[in-house]
Amino acid sequence: MVVILLGPPGVGKGTQGVLLAEVTGARHLATGDLLRAARRDGTEFGRQAQGYMDRGELVPDRLIVDLVCEVLGTLDCETGVVFDGFPRTVPQAEALAEALAEAGRQVDRVIVLEADDELLVKRIGGRRTCSTCGAVYNVFFRPSRREGVCDRDGTVLVHRADDDPATIRRRLEVYRQDTASIVRFYEGSAARLERVRANRPVAEVQDALREAVGTP
Ligand code: AP5
């Protein structure tokens, strides 16, 4: 099954995407994570993406589409995919449809996670991540056992570079500009689109997602 998680920054796409992929045996494919890994590795691609990310703008479609197609090319047709943060524009959605069609596949579910801006800003403000394993914590809602240190590998937790207040505001604006057209695109497709309120505990949101994709 091919599932797309849409939603504003901080709504929980990453948190929920990892859990949903685990339970369905799918690959969690988060373009933000791939971009941050490319930056950490100092690749040319990471360097090209850096300025856009730091300003809270979208990275150009051609870079993102190449990145996603490269990963898709490594998966067999049986492997489910949970997309997180992709597609974000109609050209990205069209490119995904084309790449999947070549493999005889299509997008099955599109789930729009929703929450109020006030909560999103609080979640993002409290987010801390592990730069070694990518684990995500929250000082308000999901603290690590030892303050400031990753439970899994002991790495010191960091605040994401684009999680400062000005960039958060810009990321929210960019999300709003592009969402309506993406939602319209999928409403006119064969995929089933559902909206899930994400202002609830992680486990409750996860239950709603599993119901939406038909996984117990
Ligand atoms: P990306 O990494 O995709 O960031 P985003 O969309 O802004 O989303 P976030 O990662 O901020 O939030 P999330 O929804 O994953 O929430 P999370 O689970 O972490 O993109 C970053 C940048 O990369 C973009 O700005 C752009 O420049 C570029 N980019 C990426 N993809 C692109 C594309 N396709 N095209 C062009 N450019 C692209 O949760 C947030 C916090 O809340 C965490 O601390 C978590 O622990 C906590 N939390 C989550 N759920 C709950 C809950 N239910 N209750 C309490 N706390 C919760």
Q: Is 195 helix (H, G, I), strand (E, B) or coil?
A: strand
Atom of ligand 1 nearest to the CA of 127: 44
Mean pLDDT value across residues 62-70: 95
Contact call for residues 83 and 90 (beta carbons, < 8 A): no
Residue nearest to atom 8 of ligand 1 (CA): 9
Name the residue with tokens 């490319």: 38
- Beta pairing, strands 109-114 & 2-6: parallel
- What distance in angstroms lies between residue 10's CA and the mean position of ligand 1's atoms? 5
Q: Domain 2-124+163-213 carries which CATH code?
A: 3.40.50.300
What is the spatial distance between Cα 216 and Cα 214, in angstroms, rounded to a whole number?
7
Check pLDDT > 90 for residue 27: yes
Residue nearest to atom 25 of ligand 1 (CA): 56
Structure confidence by residue, pLDDT tens digits, 201-212? 999 999 999 999
Can you give the pLDDT at residue 77?
87
pTM (two decimals): 0.95
Report the C-alpha dihedral over residues 120, 121, 123, 128, rounded to 10 degrees.
Answer: 130
Structure confidence by residue, pLDDT tens digits, 120-148? 999 999 999 998 888 899 999 999 999 99
Tell the burial category of 9 from Cβ atoms under 10 Å away from its Cβ (0-12, 13-18, 19+): buried
What is the spatial distance between Cα 76 and Cα 64, in angstroms, rounded to a whole number?
20
Return the domain boundaries, the chain: 2-124+163-213
- Beta pairing, strands 27-30 & 81-84: parallel
Give the active site residues.
13, 88, 127, 160, 171
Q: Indicate the pLDDT class of residue 185, thresholds 50, 70 and 90.
A: very high
- The backbone torsions φ and ψ at residue 211, rounded to the nearest 5 degrees and listed phi first, read -60, -40
Can you give the pLDDT at residue 68?
96
